[in-house]
């Protein structure tokens, strides 16, 4: 059977239109990020934040941190921002963005002090593993923004994805798993509230 194809074939009019659309999205995101982050700042980032349950609780408990959540889905991001307004949280912002595109679009003067990735889509079928966003390109781009000693906090209920995360961190020259590191803040994300168990991994940026 033929491998599933999600994008049109190369150089077809459909492919060109698709690429132009992607580029327009990237340009718009870059413009938005330049507006939102006009000067040097440090942020706490959640990638794939869903409706923002976790990050809203985190921002409430850490009023001194600027918390930014990103997600692919417009409606989820809108719900997150409503939470921030309702709870009067001036340090909480949600943006619609794809993870790698967001890291490319962030102005150079923005650093990330901590990143959370909670219950990312596990993509259980082998042919879909390429869609898992915890892999080398993301670890590479996060490393470029995060200082030695800073952490990526990963959590999943999916055994296979947890093993994958451990392996990806082990393969990266920029990150080292720290089994002794405490989970920095407990508040259930929406997915966590549906799960009976999960595993967590804290990856620390190494000094190079
Ligand atoms: C399973 S949900 C988990 C949501 C939330 N972290 C939680 O624990 O409740 C995964 C989320 O990641 C988002 N997502 C998937 N791929 C993404 C990507 N490449 N960049 C940003 N968000 C992404 C999805 O839209 C979805 O909201």
Q: Is 100 helix (H, G, I), strand (E, B) or coil?
A: helix
Reported as type and span, the H/E element at residue 117 is: strand 110-118
CA distance 62 to 46: 14
Average pLDDT for 119-138: 97
Percentage, residues of the chain above pLDDT 70:
95
- The pLDDT-based confidence of 7 (bands split at 50, 70, 90) is low
Phi/psi for 152 (5° steps) reads -105, 125
pLDDT for 8 beyond 80: no
Ligand 1 centre to CA of 121 (Å) is 6
Ligand 1 center–CA 175 separation, angstroms: 22
121 is catalytic: yes
pLDDT higher than 80, residue 22: yes
- The protein residue whose alpha carbon is closest to atom 25 in ligand 1 is 72
Give me ligand 1 centre to Cα 133, in Å: 10
Asked if residues 61 and 185 have their Cβ atoms less than 8 Å apart, the reply is yes
Name the residue at shortest CA distance from atom 15 of ligand 1. Answer: 48
- The closest of 134, 120, 21 to 72, measured between CA atoms, is 120
What residues line ligand 1, using a CB cutoff of 6 Å? 47-50, 70-73, 76, 98-99, 118-121, 133, 189-192
Q: What is the DSSP string of 121-186?
A: ----SGGGGGG-SSSHHHHHHHHHHS-TT-EEEEEES-HHHHHHHHHHHHH-SSEEE-TTSPPS--
| φ and ψ of 185, to 5 deg | -160, 125
Instruction: Report whether 174 contacts 143 (CB < 8 A).
Output: yes
Q: Which of 71, 83, 100 to mutate to test the pocket of ligand 1 (most atoms within 8 A of CB)?
A: 71
How far is it, in rounded angstroms, from Cα 192 to Cα 27? 34
**Mean pLDDT for the chain overall:** 95
Q: What is the pLDDT of residues 88-111, one digit of tens each?
A: 999 999 999 999 999 999 999 999
CATH number attached to the domain at 40-205: 3.40.50.150
Longest Cα pair distance anywhere in the chain, in angstroms?
54
pLDDT of residue 11: 79
Q: ∠ CA(141), CA(48), CA(146), 5° rounding?
A: 30
Distance CA 176, CA 172 (A): 8
* Active-site position among 71, 121, 157, 167: 121
Q: How far is the CA of 99 from the centre of ligand 1 (A)?
A: 9
Ligand 1 atom nearest to CA at 98: 20
Q: Where are the domains of the chain?
A: 7-36, 40-205
Phi and psi torsions of 168, nearest 5°: -65, -40
């Amino acid at each position: 059977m033929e491998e599933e194809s999600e994008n049109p074939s190369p150089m077809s009019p459909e492919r060109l239109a698709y690429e132009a659309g992607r580029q327009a999205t990237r340009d718009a995101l870059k413009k938005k990020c330049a507006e939102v982050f006009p000067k040097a700042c440090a942020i706490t980032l959640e990638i794939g934040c869903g409706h923002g349950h976790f990050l809203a609780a985190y921002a409430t408990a850490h009023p001194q941190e600027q918390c930014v959540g990103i997600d692919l889905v417009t409606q989820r991001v809108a719900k997150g921002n409503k939470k921030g307004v309702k709870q009067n949280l001036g340090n909480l912002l949600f943006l619609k963005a794809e993870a790698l595109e967001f890291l490319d679009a962030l102005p150079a003067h923005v650093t990330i002090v901590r990143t959370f990735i909670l219950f990312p889509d596990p993509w259980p079928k082998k042919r879909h593993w390429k869609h898992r966003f915890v892999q080398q390109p993301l670890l590479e781009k996060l490393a470029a923004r995060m200082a030695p000693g800073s952490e990526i906090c990963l959590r999943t209920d999916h055994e296979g994805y947890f093993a994958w995360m451990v392996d990806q961190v082990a393969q990266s020259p920029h990150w080292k798993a720290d089994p002794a590191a405490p989970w920095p803040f407990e508040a259930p994300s929406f997915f966590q509230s549906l799960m009976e168990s999960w595993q967590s991994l804290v990856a620390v940026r190494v000094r190079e």
